[in-house]
Amino acid sequence: MKVTFVCPGDELLGIGYMSAVLKQHDIETDLVFDPRLLQDSIFGRTFVTRYLTLDSEFLVSRIIETEPDLVAFTATTNTILWAFEVASKLKKAAEQIPIIFGGPHVTAVPERVIRRDFVDFICVGPGEYALLELVQSLQSGDGYDIPGIWHKRGSQVRHHDRIYQVEDLDQVPFPDKELFYSQLPFYKNPYVIVSSRGCPFNCTYCLQSMYHKLYRKCGAKPYQRRSVSNVIQELVVAKKRWGIKSVKFFDDLFAYNKRWLKEFCEEYKRKIDLPFRCSLHPHVVDAEILDLLKYAGAYTLTVGVESVNESILRDILNRKGSYESMQRSLELMRKSKMYFSVDHIFGLPDESEEDHKKAALLYTHVRPNNILLYWLVYYPKTEIIKHGLERKLIEQSDIELIEEGQGHISYKYAHHEGYQEAYPYYVLFNLIPIRIIPKFVFAFILKHNLLKVFKLPMFVVALKQLFDSLDPRSSRNEQLNKTRHLFKYVLAMRRRKPVKGKGLA
């Protein structure tokens, strides 16, 4: 039995874990990877963009070439339409191959995905052992009454009421990194790892708010953590086998339990001693946590600020903690001398220009090394949708588009009056981390409302991003290096001669 995973855009740890479990039970796996370069290119559909894009026909050929018994697609809301296009063409070309869908979008709206005629199964929630049981059932011919698995029987859809959650994460094998590294060896650095699943917080704009509802309904745990020894053991193996040079903890929140963190930092320093990056929550940061992280080798920290308006944080985003607490945390990070970035969201319900000014003054004071800016995206089944509807920022008809993956409705904000108000601050926030610009310049601009007089050109954002890409500690530098290697990967794929299957021209 062989399972081929179809993966868009980046290394996905979930696929690595599922492959590891399958291989542990003597089930072969393969990977068809689409970097999805230039998908939203400003250059349009030129010869160059077409050549650097692996079209769906090419991907179907690659899938068939692997000779799978089951094809597994993983998709977010951003990539679900891509997955639908590839899967529909695969079903026409090789209708005998069953197809399963999984991932955040599928878990959010399973009833919408399973109704597609080219989808045979879907997996809701964690997939490692649900997929294993499905493959074993396909081998044996038994039924599909498996937690987390939805399937079709004639015109009916059958599904289990529960999801498949592992009680002890230490019992799950380490992810199958070879699946990605054999094709994409540059993913070794930084080595991506998670020490936990889920998040202890339940922010309304985050997909975790959807997962929290699902897990409560199924009696599952919304947050789990591996033991320190298990995490360190994986890194010892990675260091020995792959010669890794740096580590990226992909946890939604890394430094949460201080007792766990103390044990981890001691063991990490003693046995791994490589630079690493991780994410923090501003209201659980203190001097002791920062000292521990610095001692262990943290070289880049990312902290989610999102907004400086306490009412928005508390009543709309469900993020507890005061502005003063957030400010203290950022000041401690500045004093620690570690490179740190802050996340900030524009387009939040009830935000005002005063909020933008307040945030600009805060960031001017603490001078983070980078400000990662986002426009609010309404993802399916997240709690933030309720607030958007109440304030008429989105309409009921938009929900259909969101759940079908046809638009995340962040674009609607561009036509909202708040966008014109936020835009100058979006540009300004990109300039604030540039240390050669003195603080008093930003203070003067804000005090005299000069953003209303002089409109900062958008090209300064591109210049700032270029500047960031030169700093090896920045996420943009990591992305630039990754993109360079992905272009080489696409060119190598283009030189292959794909196998044509039934239905392929």
Question: CA-CA distance, 41 to 461, in Å (whole number)?
Answer: 17
- Residue for token digits 């650097």? 52
Structural domain contains residue 172? no
pLDDT at residue 502 greater than cutoff 80: no
225 lies in a domain? yes
Q: Taking phi first (over 0 means left), then psi (-120 to 50 degrees means alpha), and beta for anything else, what does residue 246 get?
A: beta
Query: Which of 355, 376, 397 corresponds to the end of one domain?
Result: 376
Q: Residue 277 pLDDT more than 70?
A: yes
**Are 140 and 229 members of one domain?**
no
123 shares a domain with 49: yes
Burial letters for 86-124: b for 16+ Cβ neighbours within 10 Å, e otherwise? bbbbbbebbeebbbbbbbbbbbbbbebbbebeebbbbbb
Report pLDDT digits (tens) over 480-495. 888 888 888 888 887 7
Grade residue 410 by pLDDT with cuts at 50, 70 and 90: low
Q: Given this model, what pLDDT does residue 470 score?
A: 75
- Expressed as residue numbers, the domain containing 349 is 188-376
Quick check: is 337 in a domain? yes
Shared domain for 19 and 115, answered yes or no, is: yes
Q: What is the mean pLDDT of residues 395-411?
A: 81
- The reply to whether 434 falls in a domain is no
Which residue, 327, 354, 376, sits at the end of a domain? Answer: 376
Report the CATH number that the domain containing residue 120 is assigned in CATH: 3.40.50.2300
Q: Is residue 179 situated within a structural domain?
A: no
Q: Do residues 286 and 337 both lie within one domain?
A: yes
Is residue 41 pLDDT above 70, yes or no? no
CATH code where residue 206 lies: 3.80.30.20
Task: Report yes or no on 268 lying in a domain.
Answer: yes
Q: Which residue has the higher pLDDT, 240 or 44?
A: 240
Q: Assess whether 194 and 161 both reside in one domain.
A: no
Q: How many domains does the chain have?
A: 2
User: Is there a domain that residue 428 lies in?
Assistant: no
The answer as to whether 453 is a domain residue is: no
Is 297 found in the same domain as 225? yes
The answer to whether residues 136 and 9 belong to one domain is yes
Say whether pTM exceeds 0.95: no
Backbone angles phi, psi at 367, to 5 degrees: 50, 70
**Amino acid identity for residue 473 in this structure:** R
Same domain, 77 and 152: yes
Same domain, 265 and 361: yes
Same domain for 192 and 140: no
Same domain for 91 and 60 = yes
First-last CA distance in the chain: 28
Instruction: Report the amino acid identity of residue 121.
Output: F
pLDDT tens, 44-59?
556 666 777 888 999 9
